[in-house]
Amino acid sequence: MHPLLVVTDAPGAARPLTEQVALALRGGPFALLLRDKHLPWTERLALAAALGPMMAASGGLLLIADPAGPVAAAHLSARFPVPSPRPALLGRSVHAGEPIDPGLDYCTYSPVWATDSKPGYGPALGLDGLAAACAGPVPVYALGGVTGPERARAAREAGAAGVAVMGAVMKANDPERAVRALRAVL
Low-confidence ranges of the chain (pLDDT < 70): 10, 117-122
Per-position b or e across 33-49, b if 16+ CB within 10 A of its CB:
bbbbeeeeeeebbebbe
pLDDT at position 117 is 66
Cα 105 to Cα 90: distance, rounded to the nearest angstrom: 5
pLDDT at position 121 is 64
Q: Which CATH code of 3.20.20.70, 3.40.50.1170, 3.40.190.10, 3.40.50.920 fits the domain covering 4-185? A: 3.20.20.70
Q: How far is CA 80 from the centre of its chain?
A: 16
Q: What are the sequence ranges of the domains in the chain? A: 4-185
Is residue 111 within 8 A of residue 125, CB to CB? The reply is yes
**86-125 tens-digit pLDDT:** 999 999 999 988 999 999 999 999 999 988 766 666 688 9
CA separation, residue 152 to residues 4, 79, 102, 148 (Å): 9, 27, 24, 6
On the CB side of 156, CA atoms within 13 Å amount to 16
pLDDT at position 46 is 95
Cα 59 to Cα 77: distance, rounded to the nearest angstrom: 25
pLDDT at position 69 is 92
Q: pTM score, two decimals?
A: 0.95
